[in-house]
Amino acid sequence: MPWSHHSHSGQFCGHATDTLESVIQHAISKRMTTFCLTEHIARSDLDLYPEEAATGQNQASLARLYDDFYHKARRLQKAYVGQIDLFVGFEGEWIRGGSEGIVKELLQKYEVDLFVGSVHHVHTFPIDFDTALYHQAREVAGGSDETVFEDYFDAQFAMLQALRPPVVGHFDLIRLKSDDADRSFRAWPKVWEKIVRNLEFIAEYGGVLELNSSSLRKGMRECYPQVEICETFRAMGGRFTLSDDSHGITQVGLNYEKVMQCVERAGITELWHLTPANLESPATLPPDPRFPRVRWIAVRVTELKQHAFWKKSDR
């Protein structure tokens, strides 16, 4: 303990830093016990980020990059057995027609341990890259934060229905570049209705909602998702896990103490993490046949807070 179920490295992600192995070593130095390696998947040539286009990358080269990552990650998983539980997967994309196919092809090609279901685009515009692109998505959606929020949660619902991701990534990422990133979603009844719909679906199929600390390093007061969303999901019997969404060693486990403050305010009493499938525990979820190597196991928050990680001064 604790853990992260969402991470990136500069070796396989153009907007991250540091090698994959150095990220793993840093997680070990911080006494983390579970760490998931979830690099981005390939996107179509229509959806390249500026740094990718500038270096001549395309869908085929990104697919090769993920293949290199997968095999490197599996080697490191074996190399660090006994020091940390590493799990290998990817962060999915939901952008346009064809996104579902790319994810499902990956699931057929690779025996991954998990994947993170994320939405970074609305109307094909990346909504977390910069404010200008967020504004373009907002204009297409009708010109207001409220309308683009509605479209974001509709896109997320389509992703959830099609893929049923075991981990749902940064649930309310849409607020990052909005006019007021800390605004209550309840201010907009239609938006809140879509949020509740999505949470109910996640709870129904057994997905795990990540408490993602990356919002805190970007200046927001609460983790993804906001406490009001966490309270609602908890009341549905929903399950939560920890993720740092790190993009280099300086972000591994960063701001977890603030995430724990959100956990306590939301009344969350247990958190879940991946574990090897052969570990027996009464507090495990039923296995997902797509991921035979792993199980989910619960830990009480009171127990988690006793771990040596929280005594380190360099969190």
Quick one: pLDDT at residue 313?
Answer: 41
Phi and psi at 78, nearest 5°, equal -70, -35
Quick one: pLDDT at residue 49?
Answer: 84
Q: What angle do CA 175, 178, 184 make, to 5 degrees?
A: 55
Q: Is the pTM of this model over 0.85?
A: yes
Element (H, E) at 301: helix 301-304
Quick one: pLDDT at residue 280?
Answer: 66
Amino acid at 215: S
Q: How many domains does the chain have?
A: 1
**Segments of the chain with pLDDT less than 50:** 313-315
Q: For 235-239, which contacts have Cβ atoms below 8 Å and span 24 or more sequence positions?
A: 236/199, 236/200, 236/203, 237/203, 238/199, 238/202, 238/203, 238/209, 239/206, 239/207, 239/208, 239/209, 239/272, 239/285, 239/296, 239/298
The CATH number covering residue 81 comes to: 3.20.20.140
Quick one: pLDDT at residue 282?
Answer: 63
Quick one: pLDDT at residue 223?
Answer: 98
Rounded to whole angstroms, the Cα distance separating 258 from 230 reads: 15
Instruction: Give how far Cα 165 sits from Cα of 93, 104, 125, Å.
Output: 11, 11, 22
Rounded to whole angstroms, the Cα distance separating 27 from 236 reads: 32
Give the range of the structural domain holding residue 28, as residue numbers without chain letter.
3-311
Quick one: pLDDT at residue 281?
Answer: 67
